[in-house]
Amino acid sequence: MKLYNTLSKQKEEFVPLEPGKVSMYVCGPTVYNLIHIGNARPMIVFDTVRRYMEYKGYEVNYVSNFTDVDDKIIAKAIEEGVDASVISERYIAECKKDMADMNVKPATTHPLATQEIDGMIHMIHTLIDKGFAYDVNGTVYFRTRKFDEYGKLSHKNLDDLRSGNRSLKVTGEAQKEDPLDFVLWKPKKEGEPSWPSPWCDGRPGWHIECSVMSKKYLGEEIDIHAGGEDLVFPHHENEIAQSECCNGKQFAKYWLHNAFLNIDNRKMSKSLGNFFTVRDIAAKYDLQVLRFFMLSAHYRSPLNFSAELMEASKSGLDRILTAVENLKSLMGNAAETAVTDAEQSLLSQAVAYTEKFEAAMDDDFNTADAVSAVFELVKFANTNAGAESSRTFVNQLLEQIRTLCDILGLIVDREEEILDQDIEDLIAQRQAARKERNFARADEIRDELLAKGIVLEDTREGVKWKRA
């Protein structure tokens, strides 16, 4: 299995630190709002990487954090007049719901930054003691000049950063020894959450959080660190500096980064009016369609989101689902006869599609080619399974499709279709719950219907529904 390592800028054979085990850290979202489809890409991509590693027999310790203390969270809390923890807890719950709806498996551990403050203070203390950090009036900075390899991930030179593109510089104050030094700990401001430390009552910088959570739950050295390409500099660069200076060991062997997601060939932004949350997509599509769309391109390739491409993804996924339903139908009527020589020959041929799938995934998780292999298998099944086929033959083709789709996180077994009258009854129950201000129950009913492929739309004329 070969992985493209951002650190070396080339594909490398994957050799885990410990045979049979994989330690993997993926930077999670900052929880101040509903997650958007840009957040969804790394969640889906690296969940698929994890699934494939597990398919290959590895025991994967998968850690993905929630950044639950941040300027944006604090700003949202001030705007609503509530404690910052109210905001973070609300959106962690919403994020977990969206992840479940996208069939993203829960991490082995989902650490919260606010619960790891002691570890952060300890690491900062160690960095100060080793001369890699310094305190100025309660603000603790990391000395980038003291780490000779600073810039090795982003392939940037410190002198170039200083004299070249100023936008790459870490925000600086006059009290810094060097403009590129970054904050490890900062004093609290009025109304902000804070924790006591040897330097002042304050809170950690963003970068130190991931270094500490990775170390606690995975160890000083890890196999894979992953995230969006926007995190390469400065976040991941700073993580390396902190971790390696503190621990005296290589932080991560392999660095994986997914490319950006654009909307109609433009960068997603609220100002352009092309900003979509996962919930926005869920109102129009089953989120399995979004997952299928995300896997239709290689994770290191820029991905363009558009209504046309989503419709194409829906059609593509439907082809697979229809094939599965057809095989299940054939299973119900198939004879319990022995597999014929002709069928055995066909099953031997079908193995080639699994091999093609694995070859694609072994080549830096090329999900686009893996999906193509699934389509070829579907076509093969549609062509060769029929009313005269034995149950064993049909079942083996069905299980082969299920196995490959499960690696991709695609759920291929549709739930039984809900009747119109049952839909109307549930909508009536939801309306009653809303009148009683039991919004939790109302949301449960909406989610229950969405899980069955029923999309609700609240209008002035009442509730309208459609099958996704």
From first CA to last CA, the distance across the chain in angstroms is 37
pLDDT at 173: 62
pLDDT in the model for residue 10 = 98
User: Looking at the domain that runs over 2-258, which CATH code has it been given?
Assistant: 3.40.50.620
**Structure confidence by residue, pLDDT tens digits, 35-62:** 999 999 999 999 999 999 999 999 999 9
Walk along the chain (468 residues) and give the pLDDT tens digit of each residue: 999 999 999 999 999 999 999 999 999 999 999 999 999 999 999 999 999 999 999 999 999 999 999 999 999 999 999 999 999 999 999 999 999 999 999 999 999 999 999 999 999 999 999 999 999 999 999 999 999 999 999 999 877 777 654 444 445 567 899 999 999 999 999 989 999 999 999 999 999 999 999 999 999 999 999 999 999 999 999 999 999 999 999 999 999 999 999 988 888 777 777 789 999 999 999 999 999 999 999 999 999 999 999 999 999 999 999 999 999 999 988 888 899 999 999 999 999 999 999 999 999 999 999 999 999 999 999 999 999 999 999 999 999 999 999 999 999 987 666 778 888 889 999 989 888 988 888 888 888 888 777 888 888 778 888 876
Chain centroid offset of residue 280 CA = 18
pLDDT of residue 416: 63
| pLDDT (0 to 100) of residue 3 | 98
What is d(CA 449, CA 417) in angstroms, rounded to the nearest whole number?
A: 11
pLDDT of residue 199: 98
pLDDT digits (tens, 9 = 90+) for 319-335: 999 999 999 999 988 88
Bridge partner list, 13: 2
The residue type found at 100 is: A
Burial 339-366 (b: 16+ CB within 10 A, else e): beeebeebbeebeebeebbbebbbbbbb
d(CA 25, CA 253): 12
Please give the radius of gyration of the chain, using alpha carbons only, rounded to the nearest integer: 25
Identity (one letter) of the amino acid at 380?
F
- Cα distances from 69 to residues 124, 127, 138, 204, in angstroms, run 18, 22, 19, 9
Contact partners, residue 138, CB within 8 Å, separation at least 6: 185, 186, 187, 199, 200, 202
Q: What six digits make up the tokens of 61?
A: 């310790």
Preceding amide of 19 cis, omega within 30: no
Which pLDDT does position 417 carry in this prediction?
63
Same fold, 2-258 and 278-407: no
10 Å CB burial of residue 210 (0-12, 13-18, 19+) is buried
pLDDT tens column, 189-225: 998 999 999 999 999 999 999 999 999 999 999 999 9
**Separation CA 141–CA 128 (nearest Å):** 9
pLDDT for 270: 73
Report the DSSP beta bridge partners of residue 183. 141
What pTM was estimated for this model as a whole? 0.87
Domain boundaries, the chain: 2-258, 278-407, 420-467
Position 468 scores a pLDDT of 66
What is the CATH architecture assignment of 278-407?
Orthogonal Bundle (1.10)
HSE-up (13 A, CA, CB side) for residue 27 = 23
| Residue 96 φ/ψ region, left for φ over 0, alpha for ψ in the -120 to 50 degree band, beta for the rest | alpha
Helices (H), 276-413: 278-282, 287-294, 307-333, 341-362, 367-384, 391-407
How far CA 79 is from CA of 83, 187, 189, in Å, comes to 10, 21, 16
What are the angstrom distances between the C-alpha of 105 and each of 24, 100, 290, 351, 411?
Answer: 14, 7, 16, 27, 13
Paired with 142 in beta bridges are 133, 182
- Say what the pLDDT of residue 165 is: 40
Q: Which of 361, 335, 351 is nearest to 396 (CA)?
A: 351
Contact 383, 375 (CB under 8 A): no
Bridge partners, residue 85, by sequence: none
**Inter-residue contact 69 to 192 (CB < 8 Å):** no
